Structure formats: structure tokens, C-alpha cells
Amino acid sequence: MSLRFHWFLPTYGDSRNLMAGGHGSSMSGDRPATLKYLNQIGAAAETNGFEAVLTPTGQWCEDAWLTTAMMIDATETLKFLVALRPGLMSPTLAAQMAATFQWQSQGRLLLNVVTGGESAEQRTYGDFHDKEQRYARCGEFLDVIRRLWANTGPVTFSGEHVQVENAVLGRFPDPVPPIFFGGSSPAAGTVAAQFADAYLTWGEPPAAVATKIDWIRGLAQAQGRTLDYGIRLHVISRDTAEQAWAEAGRLLGALDPETVATAQRNLARSESEGQRRMLELHGGGSSYTGSGDARALEISPNLWTGVGLVRGGAGTALVGSHEEVAERIAEYAAVGCDHFILSGYPHLEETYQFGEGVRPVLERRGLLTPRALDGSQVVRTPFISGDPAPAGAS
């Protein structure tokens, strides 16, 4: 087997320390997200064998489509897992943009569909749907996109939230970009089972991830579909476990207790079921006392919740020696994870910690295809879902 590894593009800025905010709250780093710096991260990810970089979406970061489009010429094989929010554009336009991106990048687009978990942020974009309505609209949006990409003729669709008439594309994406999708609510599961190619979860203990994967797998099987599964984690990997936990302690010790308290109050208002699960892992920051005792926030072997004290969204990190981090990755692979979307602080330097430390261990274990002898990225076959193509519409 060969697992699929992706890195993260911090389009809100970067830092050597943990940054508060995200997912509806302002967020910025002391390394600005200039195109020059993001290109450095892209080059580092490509050098260290990552297949793609995930870009976020929201008011707290730069636009994902524009940023990644500007990075195409600065990379050669790196793919871009671009976040897009249904409801902020028409499905026909989104399908057209994806086709253009695939053509100009020679097939290096992946899509991460983000329904939008915070109503307050959605309203700033003019979207006044509630959470359940957003998921219903997302399903209709993806239905139209899938039908357009199936290239079976003009698409007419009249749903509760989405309507198009005789929609066509002048160009079809080749290959069709895979759709990554996350969400922990029942409504999210329904949409994922019908339209996603890969289901994503934030980092929880392996047993909890296994339960979530089993849930989605059952829903997908009822639709006659087979999905890939992925996990979003931060990572602090060093030559020794002591060095890794010392770095986690440094990150933790740099946090101001008031910053943690403010972040937790903001995150507690989130409508996201996934965010609620993240907060449960560390008790809403109740165990944080302002000290650098990182191991107090280890909730299962090498799984650390310190990031989630201040950061919205993915709030857990794998912390340990390169061998330990590889072992935990193997455990997640054993419960069904195919894709690993990783990040670290700062994102530039941490690509090398993983690429030079953990990757060789995974290669020795047969979990990762070795890179070519010249160090270049191994050419992968396009992501191809085993699902039947959606039926055309009249």
C-alpha cells in the first residue's frame, strides 16, 4: 500500500508559535502570507514528497482559488487541495473554474468542499441560510457539479436551494478533480456518502476515527459507493521523543492564559459538530494553567491537544520521535485512513522534519512509495474514484 500525504498552506500567515483564531475568527502570523513565502512552502512540500497542499477558506485567510492559481508556475508536480464554499458562487461557475484550473495546471486540482460551520461568518458573505439549509444546499450544489462533469449534455436542475437551466461547460476537467469533504453531523454524513470521493476527519484518537469511518462507510455503501478516508493533523516530529515534547512544551509555554480563554469562548459558540468534538478532547482548555507541561494534554499515545487551545478547526498534533509518529500513522492507516493532511509550526521548516525524518520510516515499513533516486516526486496515477458516474439530468 502507499498512503497519500498532503501539507497545509497557511494563507493567513505563519509563525514559530501557535496562532489563535481561524474558522470564523481573525488569524494572522508574524510571517505574512506573501506569494514569495507561500511559494517557498510549496517548493518545500514538493521537495519532501507531499502530493498536495490544502488551502483554507474564510474571512481569516487569503482567497484559496486566487492564491493557488498564482502558485502553479512555481511548482511542477505539487497539487492544490483548494477549499470552496457552496452557496458563495453558482455550481456552474465552480465547475467551470475547476475545469480551467485543471487545464492550466495540467491536472493538479483537488477540491475540499467546506459547507460553512459558522452562521455569523456566512452572513458576512451574504449567506443567511442556517446550518441544516447549508448542508441541503451543498448536496444540490454538488449534484449539479457532478452532472456537469459527467458531460452528458445540458443540465437543468430545480432544487429547493439551487436552480440552473440548460447549464453547459465549454471545457471539461481532465481528470475530474476528486472532492474531499468533512463534517461530523448527520447532515454532513448524508452529503459525504452521496457526493464525496474522500471523507476527512480532524484528528481524534484512532478508535474514535475508526467509528467515524465505519459510520460514513455504511452510509456510502447504502448509496452503492466507495470512498477514500483522510485525517487532518498537525505534527511535531524530532529525532527523539524528548526533543519533540520539548518543542510542544515551548509552544504551550508561549501561550498567554487570557489568549487561551478568549479563544475558547469564541470556539464554544461554534455551530460545528467537529469543533465541539475538538473542544471535548481538551475539556475546553480547563487543564491549561499557563505552564509548559505539554504531556498534560496528551489524550492518547502521541496525540496532543495543545494546538486546539487557541486554533479553530484541526486542533490535535502527533508529537514524538520520527519512529513514534510513523507508528501512530500506521495505526490510523489500519483503521482506514488513506490520506494524511499535515502541518506544523512553522510550516516551512516542519516540511523537512517530516520529509527527512518520518517519510523514510514509512518507506521502510512499506506504507509509502519511495521517491525516485534523484529525489524527485514519484509520479502518481490520477485519483480515480470507483464510483459510478452520476446520472445525467434533463
pLDDT per residue as tens digits for the range 81-127: 999 999 899 999 999 999 999 999 999 999 999 997 688 888 998 99
DSSP secondary structure code for residue 175 in this structure: S
Beta-bridged to residue 110, according to DSSP, are 81
Give φ, ψ of 231 to 5 degrees: -135, 140
Residue 159 pLDDT exceeds 80:
yes
What contacts 80, CB < 8 A, 6 or more positions away?
Answer: 52, 53, 55, 68, 71, 72, 101, 105, 108, 109, 110
pLDDT band at 392 (very low <50, low <70, confident <90, very high): very low
Query: pTM for the complete prediction?
Result: 0.91
Give φ, ψ of 247 to 5 degrees: -65, -40
Torsion of CA 360, 362, 367, 372, to 10 degrees: -10
Mean pLDDT of all residues belonging to the chain? 90
Q: What is the rounded distance in angstroms from the CA atom of residue 308 to the CA atom of residue 276?
A: 11
State the residue for C-alpha cell 519512529.
323
Lowest mean pLDDT segment, chosen from 12-16, 189-193, 226-230, 252-256: 252-256
Q: What is the rounded distance in angstroms from the CA atom of residue 244 to the CA atom of residue 329?
A: 16
pLDDT band at 372 (very low <50, low <70, confident <90, very high): low
* Residues 145/162, Cβ–Cβ less than 8 Å: no
Per-residue model confidence (pLDDT) at position 258:
86
Beta-bridged to residue 8, according to DSSP, are 54
User: Which range among 21-25, 212-216, 278-282 has the greatest average pLDDT?
Assistant: 212-216
Instruction: Please report the domains of the chain, with CATH numbers, ordered by start residue.
Output: 4-230+344-364 (3.20.20.30)
